[in-house]
Amino acid sequence: MSAASLDSGRSGRIGKMLIRATVLGLFAFFIFGPLLNLVLWAFAERWYFPNKLPSQFGFSFWARVFDPRGNAMASLLTSVGIAVTTVVVCLAIAVPAGLALGRLQLRWRGAIMLVFLLPSAFPNLPVYVNIARVFYELGLNGTVAGVVLVHAAHGLVLAVWISAAAFAAVDKALEEAGRNLGAGAWWCFLTITLPLAAPGIIAGGIFVFLESLDEFTGTFFVGVPDVITLPLLMFNASMGGNYQIASITALLLLVPSVGFMLLVERFLKPNVMATLGR
Amino acid sequence: MSSAAEQSSPRATWAGMALVSPALLVIVVFFLGPLLASVVSSFQTKAGAWTLANFDKSFELYSGDVWYTAVIVLVSTLVVGLMSVAIGGYLTLGTNPRAQGVLRWLYRWPLFIPFIVAGQVMRTFLAKNGLLNQLLIGSGILEPLAAQSYLDWRGIVLAFVWKQTPFVALMVAGAMAAIESDHIEAARNLGAGRLRILFEIIIPQIRRTLMVGLVLSYVTMLSVLSVPMMINPNSPTMMTVDVAYRINAHGDYGVANALCLISLLLASVGAWFYLRHGVARKGVQ
């Protein structure tokens, strides 16, 4: 090999490296640029066009958000309360259904599966609009109970899918061994099947919690004017031009979402996630 | 007693139905019922008489927005698909493990970030003094005086792509990782280039996963209210904003539901494919 071709090989490699670094850099800017901009706004005391950066940084808006008597803390409490109740309601309905779909030989299984696929195959806006219309007549609009019902119905599909997958993955031989040793069906379920399916069910519960915490459209129609969750508070602040309060609230909502994203691959591998039917 | 005999007994069947029925009931009452009510209401006047006036009014006032919505959602779906294939393809075929590691770490961040937060994030990023303009000005691509805000259809598309790409890319990358590496190795040994392997060997095998991911994304984007409301609430805007306006400002459920039915029709093309594929897959398991 001549020196010249060796040299062109090296410069080709450097060229490739530069292209790779540039493309990755641009992609990193695409992912993190928007988040960085949000963080800047969260700590900006004053920021007017055409200033490139905020003219003053500070924490006065954080003090306002974290004021125990302020709107934001009340919204945070409302949001967490609604999300926890939603998880309880949702799992109480989804775990039995998941057991039946994942474990038992069901008649009309295909049709039942179809029903549980439907909600993710259609836009949910018409659903929320018309639930709100019925809830208004029932006096459920603007109540926490109404919002919990909407969130639970929304989270149910995912919870059923995940718990069905969790129960289907439990080895039947273990249960049979328990039965052969003389344990009753209920005892077997409580001490063998349920504990083995628990990690999947907990993952489903976390999903439902996050979906409820982040839900906007349903709450927008059903919760107004009295139930102000964190996403609604953020929306009102942003539309009112208060970017600092909106950005701080957005950061509060970001933390659990990003944390879950980083943790989720521990118990749900990408190839499992890909088969989740969502 | 063998478990198969136990499960097919009538008693076990009834137990199964009893376990599923609460969940089914919730779906019927809180999903199918309201959806049906929406369709019926779009053909009714306020007094309850049958009419097509809601559709006349919808097209008269909002036909521009219907197009605007369709184009935005289709363009976003297309870009999400291209980016997902590019990400999955590089993760499968790339030759630099470090670059692959960085990409794998990078692309998932917006996965669980809610649309409303994506809307706020883009509102700051794409504004006149946002970081996007600063990058363009800093790198000499844009004159400082020519800086403009991108909070129009471009902002909506960017917010959708930012939020939806991780989800589809995750599905696509998972499917690509499950392809038998013998196929790829064989093609490589025969001298096929990486692009050719991607298009002729990998994409045909993951086509269904890609389609399901894109359809779910497409349907989701059609019914997002927060992103268009925060990025571009003024006309022309997306149909979801019009629906909210008809209800909050006029209490006009007829036209709102007519608009909903139009978006249902836009979604049904995708929904049909998804349900057919989903039932086929779940039925086999």
**Who's near A141: CB < 8 A, 6+ residues apart?**
A132, A135, A222, A223, A224
C-alpha atoms less than 13 angstroms from C-alpha of A20 in its C-beta half-sphere = 17
> Cα–Cα distance between B244 and B227 in angstroms, integer?
13
B129 within domain boundaries? yes
- Chain A residues near residue B111 by CB distance under 8 angstroms: 257, 261
Q: Answer yes or no: do B159 and B260 share one domain.
A: yes
- Chain A residues near residue B115 by CB distance under 8 angstroms: 216
- State residue A5's pLDDT score: 59
B196 within domain boundaries? yes
Instruction: Give the closest of B99, B128, B267 to A123, CB-based.
Output: B267
What does the DSSP 8-state code read for residue B146?
G
Q: Answer yes or no: do B11 and B56 share one domain.
A: no
Q: Answer yes or no: do B164 and B256 share one domain.
A: yes
B151–A contact, CB cutoff 8 A: no
Residue A217 has pLDDT above 50, yes or no: yes
Q: Answer yes or no: do B102 and B148 share one domain.
A: yes
- In chain B, whose CA is at the least distance from the CA of A16? B96
Q: CATH number of the domain that B180 lies in?
A: 1.10.3720.10
Q: Answer yes or no: do B24 and B156 share one domain.
A: no
- State residue A276's pLDDT score: 47
pLDDT in tens, B214-273: 988 999 999 899 999 999 988 899 999 999 999 999 989 999 999 999 999 998 877 777
- State residue B6's pLDDT score: 45
> Are the CB atoms for B106 and A27 separated by under 8 Å?
yes
Token look-up 């919870």 returns: A159
Q: Answer yes or no: do B100 and B191 share one domain.
A: yes
Residue A94 has pLDDT above 80, yes or no: yes
Q: Answer yes or no: do B114 and B218 share one domain.
A: yes
> Which pair of tokens denotes residue B196?
């050719």
The answer to whether the Cβ–Cβ distance between A117 and B279 falls below 8 Å is: yes
Q: Answer yes or no: do B133 and B249 share one domain.
A: yes
* Å between B49 CA and nearest CA of chain A: 18
Distances (CA, A) of A129 to A52, A112, A144, B65, B191: 42, 25, 17, 19, 57
Q: How many residues does chain B have?
A: 285
Give the structural domain span for B233: 52-284
B237 within domain boundaries? yes
Residue A278 has pLDDT above 70, yes or no: no
Name the nearest CA neighbour of B52 among B250, B253, B254: B254
pTM: 0.88
Q: Tell me, what's the ipTM?
A: 0.86
- Chain A residues near residue B26 by CB distance under 8 angstroms: 93, 152-153, 156
* Å between A258 CA and nearest CA of chain B: 7
B47 within domain boundaries? no
Residue A271 has pLDDT above 50, yes or no: no
B150–A contact, CB cutoff 8 A: no
Q: Answer yes or no: do B164 and B184 share one domain.
A: yes
Q: Is B94 left (phi over 0), alpha (psi -120 to 50) or beta?
A: beta
- Chain B residues near residue A109 by CB distance under 8 angstroms: 283
pLDDT in tens, A10-40: 788 888 889 999 999 999 999 999 999 999 9
pLDDT in tens, A169-204: 888 888 888 888 888 888 888 888 888 888 889 888
Q: How confident is the model at residue B282 (pLDDT cuts 50, 70, 90)?
A: low
Cα A151 to its chain centre, rounded Å, is: 12
B189 within domain boundaries? yes
pLDDT in tens, A243-261: 889 999 999 999 888 888 8
The answer to whether the Cβ–Cβ distance between B20 and A97 falls below 8 Å is: yes
B270 within domain boundaries? yes
The answer to whether the Cβ–Cβ distance between A97 and B23 falls below 8 Å is: yes
A28–B contact, CB cutoff 8 A: yes
What does the DSSP 8-state code read for residue B144?
G
Residue B2 has pLDDT above 50, yes or no: no
Instruction: Give the closest of A121, A220, A246 to B275, CB-based.
Output: A121
- Chain B residues near residue A278 by CB distance under 8 angstroms: 216
> Cα–Cα distance between B106 and A25 in angstroms, integer?
10
pLDDT over 90, % of chain B: 59
Token look-up 């197009």 returns: B67
B106–A contact, CB cutoff 8 A: yes
Enumerate residues 3 to 62 of chain B having a beta carbon within 8 A of any beta carbon in chain A.
3-4, 7-8, 12-13, 15-17, 19-20, 22-24, 26-32, 34-35, 37-38, 41
Distances (CA, A) of A83 to A211, A214, B166, B247: 8, 9, 25, 27
B177–A contact, CB cutoff 8 A: yes
- Chain A residues near residue B281 by CB distance under 8 angstroms: 277
Q: Answer yes or no: do B10 and B36 share one domain.
A: yes
Q: Answer yes or no: do B111 and B220 share one domain.
A: yes
Give the 3-state secondary structure of chain A.
Answer: CCHHHHHHHHHHHHHHHHHHHHHHHHHHHHHHHHHHHHHHHHCEEECCCCCCCCCEECCHHHHHHCCCCCHHHHHHHHHHHHHHHHHHHHHHHHHHHHHHHHHCCCCCHHHHHHHHHHHHHCCCHHHHHHHHHHHHHHCCCCCHHHHHHHHHHHHHHHHHHHHHHHHHCCCHHHHHHHHHCCCCHHHHHHHHHHHHHHHHHHHHHHHHHHHHHHCCHHHHHHCCCCCCCHHHHHHHHHHCCCHHHHHHHHHHHHHHHHHHHHHHHHHCCHHHHHCCCC
The answer to whether the Cβ–Cβ distance between A257 and B283 falls below 8 Å is: no
> What mean pLDDT is predicted for residues A122-150?
92
Instruction: Give the closest of A112, A123, A246 to B219, CB-based.
Output: A123
- State residue B227's pLDDT score: 95
Instruction: Give the closest of B13, B162, B226 to A216, CB-based.
Output: B226
Tell me yes or no: is domain A71-274 CATH 1.10.3720.10: yes
Domain count, chain B: 2
B167 within domain boundaries? yes
Q: Answer yes or no: do B30 and B119 share one domain.
A: no
